[in-house]
Amino acid sequence: MAHVEMTPAVTPTLAGEVAQSPRRRSLLGSIELALKWLVEIPAAILVVAEIVILFAGVVSRYVLHAPLVWSDELASMLFLWLAMLGSAVAFRRSEHMRMTALVASAGPRLWAYLDVVATCAALAFLLLIVHPSYEYAYEESFITTPALQISNTWRAAALPVGICLMVLFALLRLARVGDLKTLLTAVATVVVLIALFWFAQPLFKPLGNINLIIFFVGVVGFCVFAGVPIAFAFGLAIFGYLALTTRTPLMVLVGRMDEGMSHLILLSVPLFVFLGLLIEMTGMARAMVAFLASLLGHVRGGLHYVLVGAMYLVSGISGAKAADMAAVAPVLFPEMKQRGAKPGDLVALLAATGAQTETIPPSLVLITIGSVTGVSISALFTGGLLPGVVLALTLSGLVWWRYRGEDLSHVRRATSGEIARAFVVSIPALALPFVIRYAVVEGIATATEVSTIGIVYALVIGLLIYRQFDWRRLLPMLIETACLSGAILLIIGTATGMAWGLTQSGFSRALAASMTGLPGGAATFIAVSILAFVILGSVLEGIPAIVLFGPLMFPIARLVGVHEVHYAMIIILAMGIGLFAPPFGVGYYAACAIGKVDPAEGIRPIWGYLLALLVGLIIVAIFPWISIGFL
């Protein structure tokens, strides 16, 4: 998934640093550099360790017929450490997902103030859960793991350690703010707001489920639109709800976060993220795009069709939208601009193809749905292929209309020999999606383990065939993997806490009753779901929206007679449209950042592509066979 902030050229914190003394900057820089390596190197090592452990498990079970009984347990223990250290890396880099559309449109002074407020709000949540996380880790010391026979504290200690590291990075960031007035105002704002909620505690008790609106809509909405990272907005909301309106021990919140982040199926998130970076680095993506360009480059709008097809193929490998777009756009955009394509139209189509490919395995959203709803990952992987084709066809129809008069008199058609050579070169890359799919279907590896097969395959192909393997990029790629994974997993953790709070309040039962009672049955339910998830996708992004509402909506879908795989495809595509739709969709700004185009240029052309996507979504919704015909 794409998670990019569109920020001014000089951020408030950097602007503020100018006012600091060189000695202070040097001391803070030295402390942060030491902490940086203390966190990033272990995080990178953990990514490698997970790949080795899971691949060893596949080999020992399928090749040697001697399963490693401890491999899943060790992988699970290390995974929580990877999630928390990755979250700390993301915090240091300011790469936790946040919605900056409104904040960035404010004036420089207000932007600087809100940026510091966001850091203070995140720090407040971290300080509030430091002690409950320590209590939780201590309680886990009474549990002994079944396979390794060691205390579960070794795993649970990742939570307080990761939280304390993020506290340190937050304090260092605040210490670098040069404008003391802005800093004190921001700190005072957060302290006053928390104090007001604390003193209003007696007023919340009698309100019952109205508190859900106050905390889960009001607090979350205020924090998200103010630029607070989504994970911490969720965290503040659920912490406030539990602390001020219930008698639930706050250690329970940490336990729910642990539960949400520790699903072994989610281990495929960092592994597929790394795989996406790997195929870009080894030249596999470039080989696929070159083959498609040789086939269609001479057709009117041909490279636009190539962009649609390349995103479909690359999505089948990486599972991460940022990696998909970064792999395809730099290869195609220069030639497309030479042919007269407008930059705004290019990023609009790039964003639209990002939404189109959300259902194509191994999409991280598919993996998340499987982990939180219990739907078969294999069934989701099978069901996601055709919906992506339907949306590709509707996008291609619009491309045909827009470029039916394109002048191609200066474009040379590739010869059959050139096409054959490009095809031969691309065969190893084109085979990777089929290798991944075959391994899952034939039971060689689980949906979690299959990513390691893809990684080993990409390493071998990159080293022996394409020979574009840059060893110097390996460490930054591993750190980037941990960073993006940590940002995603912390959201899943805090969103799981919110989902638990919603369930405990009885909201899920009330929602089920109201949704099943809608006139029109399944058709109305699907229509309402599409509208709701387009909105949720634009504000929360796919993964947190799924974690929050998936466990609530999927049982209702079954009650009204909608197949769960069909329903999964509908809501994923709806969220994809929201995610890549301006003005709030983060994915749209990611496409603009990758294409190096001003977001304003793509606003007009993207509406046509979004309409084409909506037509494709309606077709998928009307005909369930598209999603479940091959199950």
Q: Distance between alpha carbon 148 and the CA centroid of its chain, in Å?
A: 32
In the predicted structure, residue 450 carries a pLDDT above the cut 60: yes
Q: What is the mean pLDDT of residues 511-529?
A: 82
The SS3 of residue 144 is strand
pLDDT, tens only, 579-595: 888 766 767 877 887 77
Q: Distance between alpha carbon 261 and the CA centroid of its chain, in Å?
A: 14
251 and 312 assigned to the same domain: no
More confident: 288 or 154: 154
Sequence-separated (6 or more) residues with CB below 8 Å from residue 419 = 291, 294, 295
Q: What is the mean pLDDT of residues 451-472?
A: 87
pLDDT, tens only, 147-201: 888 999 999 999 999 999 999 999 999 998 878 899 999 999 999 999 999 999 9
Whether residue 72 is contained in a domain is answered as: yes
419 and 540 assigned to the same domain: yes
User: What does the pLDDT read at residue 18?
Assistant: 43
User: What does the pLDDT read at residue 485?
Assistant: 86
More confident: 509 or 353: 353
Instruction: Report the alpha-carbon distance of residue 516 to residue 158 in Å, rounded.
Output: 41
DSSP per-residue letters across 344-382 = HHHHHHHHHHHHHGGGSSS-HHHHHHHHHH---HHHHHH
* Range in 80-94, 577-591, 617-631 with the lowest mean pLDDT: 577-591
DSSP per-residue letters across 207-260 = GTTHHHIIIIIIIHHHHHHTT--HHHHHHHHHHHHHHHH----THHHHHHHHHH
Calculate the alpha carbon distances from 470 to 40, 51, 318, 463, 466 in Å.
20, 19, 19, 9, 11
The answer to whether residues 373 and 564 touch, using CB atoms and an 8 Å cutoff, is yes
Sequence-separated (6 or more) residues with CB below 8 Å from residue 134 = 160
* Range in 88-92, 161-165, 238-242, 370-374 with the lowest mean pLDDT: 370-374
253 and 281 assigned to the same domain: no
* Range in 17-26, 44-53, 317-326 with the lowest mean pLDDT: 17-26
In terms of C-beta density within 10 A (0-12 exposed, 13-18 middle, 19 or more buried), how is residue 62 classed? middle
* Of 107, 1, 87, residue with least CA distance to 39: 87
Whether residue 479 is contained in a domain is answered as: no
pLDDT band at 323 (very low <50, low <70, confident <90, very high): low
Instruction: Report the alpha-carbon distance of residue 455 to residue 279 in Å, rounded.
Output: 9
In terms of C-beta density within 10 A (0-12 exposed, 13-18 middle, 19 or more buried), how is residue 352 classed? buried
User: What does the pLDDT read at residue 502?
Assistant: 79
- Buried-state track 10-21, b at ≥16 Cβ within 10 A, e below 16: eebbeebbeeee
The answer to whether residues 499 and 548 touch, using CB atoms and an 8 Å cutoff, is yes
The answer to whether residues 528 and 518 touch, using CB atoms and an 8 Å cutoff, is yes
User: What does the pLDDT read at residue 542?
Assistant: 64
Per the structure, the count of domains in the chain is 2
351 and 439 assigned to the same domain: yes
* Of 362, 369, 370, 306, residue with least CA distance to 332: 306
pLDDT, tens only, 400-428: 888 877 766 677 788 888 889 989 988 98
255 and 158 assigned to the same domain: yes
The SS3 of residue 5 is coil
Residue at which a domain ends, from 262, 284, 312: 262
User: What does the pLDDT read at residue 154?
Assistant: 94
Residue type, position 133, single letter: S
More confident: 507 or 355: 355
pLDDT, tens only, 376-386: 888 898 898 89
Average pLDDT, the chain: 84
In the predicted structure, residue 10 carries a pLDDT above the cut 60: no
Range of the domain at 282: 268-471+501-631
245 and 288 assigned to the same domain: no
290 and 241 assigned to the same domain: no
234 and 357 assigned to the same domain: no
Whether residue 483 is contained in a domain is answered as: no
- Share of residues in the chain with pLDDT > 70 (%): 91
In the predicted structure, residue 479 carries a pLDDT above the cut 60: yes
Residue at which a domain ends, from 262, 279, 294: 262
In the predicted structure, residue 4 carries a pLDDT above the cut 60: no
Whether residue 255 is contained in a domain is answered as: yes
277 and 399 assigned to the same domain: yes
242 and 309 assigned to the same domain: no
245 and 340 assigned to the same domain: no
Whether residue 570 is contained in a domain is answered as: yes
Residue at which a domain ends, from 262, 280, 302: 262
User: What does the pLDDT read at residue 194?
Assistant: 95
Instruction: Report the alpha-carbon distance of residue 543 to residue 545 in Å, rounded.
Output: 5
178 and 320 assigned to the same domain: no
Calculate the alpha carbon distances from 453 to 200, 282, 588 in Å.
54, 16, 31
Count of alpha carbons within 13 angstroms of residue 296, beta-carbon side: 21
DSSP per-residue letters across 596-609 = T--HHHHHHHHHHH
pLDDT band at 19 (very low <50, low <70, confident <90, very high): very low
Whether residue 13 is contained in a domain is answered as: no
In the predicted structure, residue 311 carries a pLDDT above the cut 90: no
Whether residue 112 is contained in a domain is answered as: yes
The answer to whether residues 550 and 558 touch, using CB atoms and an 8 Å cutoff, is no
The answer to whether residues 203 and 94 touch, using CB atoms and an 8 Å cutoff, is no
Q: Which helix (H) or strand (E) holds 175?
A: helix 158-175
In the predicted structure, residue 621 carries a pLDDT above the cut 70: yes
Instruction: Report the alpha-carbon distance of residue 269 to residue 448 in Å, rounded.
Output: 8
Tokens describing residue 609: 């592509």
User: Which range is most confident: 216-225, 530-539, 607-616?
Assistant: 607-616
- In three-state form (DSSP H/G/I as H, E/B as E, the rest C), the secondary structure along 47-58 is HHHHHHHHHHHH
pLDDT band at 131 (very low <50, low <70, confident <90, very high): very high
User: What does the pLDDT read at residue 584?
Assistant: 65
Sequence-separated (6 or more) residues with CB below 8 Å from residue 410 = none
The SS3 of residue 528 is helix
Calculate the alpha carbon distances from 322 to 97, 280, 612 in Å.
13, 11, 22
pLDDT, tens only, 69-81: 888 889 989 999 9
User: What does the pLDDT read at residue 16?
Assistant: 41
In the predicted structure, residue 9 carries a pLDDT above the cut 70: no
Whether residue 53 is contained in a domain is answered as: yes
